[in-house]
């Protein structure tokens, strides 16, 4: 049995693109008590791994205040879970589906490209911590199926 952190608690690194400002940034981080596990130089950037989510937010705020160019990824709790509700009749309004799904963020209708008619698909986005979406069996008293969205095979133009 290994002692690994769960994937949900993984905090993304912050990549500082201007390595010449690192000494002043390190001093500001210690004065503001922003903790980080390690900082690793790579070619012309520095990878910083914050300890907590609060440290991540404080460090990004510090970099924005000082206008230091940086790059990072979204926090796991900020990401949304996407699914497609299949076999929802086109006659049912989006508002009815949205009221049935209490915690949903975004519910839309899908329209066919060729005929411009609505399809019986309803894409839904909701926070990841509400992982009950794929166990959903009915909406508006109708049996439906829930699937992950299909990725297109070709590149977008």
Instruction: Tell me the pLDDT tens digit for each residue of 123-137.
Output: 777 776 666 677 777
Q: What distances in angstroms separate CA 49 from CA 31, 53, 61, 63, 138, one per listed residue?
A: 18, 11, 15, 14, 43
- Element containing residue 143 per DSSP (H, E): strand 142-143
| Angle, vertex CA 138, rays to CA 135 and CA 144, nearest 5 | 85
Averaged pLDDT, 35-59:
90
Rounded to 10 degrees, the C-alpha dihedral 126/132/134/137 comes to -110
Q: List, as one string, the DSSP characters of 86-113.
A: ES--TTS-HHHHHHHSTT-SEE---B-T
The answer, yes or no, to whether residue 46 has pLDDT greater than 60, is yes
Tokens of 66: 């000082």
Mean pLDDT of the chain: 78
Q: What is the pLDDT of residue 25?
A: 92
Ordered domains of the chain (ranges, CATH): 9-76 (3.30.70.260), 79-147 (3.30.70.330)
pTM, full prediction: 0.57
* Residue 69 near residue 17 (C-beta atoms within 8 A): yes
pLDDT at 6 over 60: no
Mean pLDDT value across residues 18-30 = 90
The two three-digit tokens of residue 124, written as one number: 């839904």
DSSP 33-102: T--EEEEEEETTEEEEEESSHHHHHHHHHHHHHTT--EEE---GGG-EEEEEEES--TTS-HHHHHHHST
According to DSSP, the residues that pair with 80 across neighbouring strands are 127
Report the C-alpha gap between 29 and 150 in whole angstroms: 43
pLDDT in tens, 54-85: 999 999 999 999 999 999 988 877 777 777 78
């Amino acid at each position: 049995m290994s002692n690994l952190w769960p994937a949900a608690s993984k905090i993304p690194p912050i990549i500082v693109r201007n390595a010449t400002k690192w000494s002043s940034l390190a001093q500001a981080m210690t004065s503001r008590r922003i903790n980080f596990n390690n900082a690793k130089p790579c070619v012309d950037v520095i990878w910083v791994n914050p300890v907590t989510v609060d440290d991540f937010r404080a460090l990004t705020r510090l970099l924005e205040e000082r206008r230091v160019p940086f790059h990072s990824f979204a926090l796991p709790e900020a990401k949304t879970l996407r699914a497609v509700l299949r076999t929802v009749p086109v006659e049912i309004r989006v508002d009815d589906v949205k009221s049935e799904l209490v915690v949903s963020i975004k519910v839309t209708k899908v329209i066919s490209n060729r005929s411009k008619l609505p399809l019986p698909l309803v894409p839904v986005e909701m926070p990841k911590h509400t992982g009950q979406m794929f166990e959903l069996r009915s909406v508006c008293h109708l049996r439906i199926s829930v699937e992950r969205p299909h990725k297109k095979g070709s590149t977008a133009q």
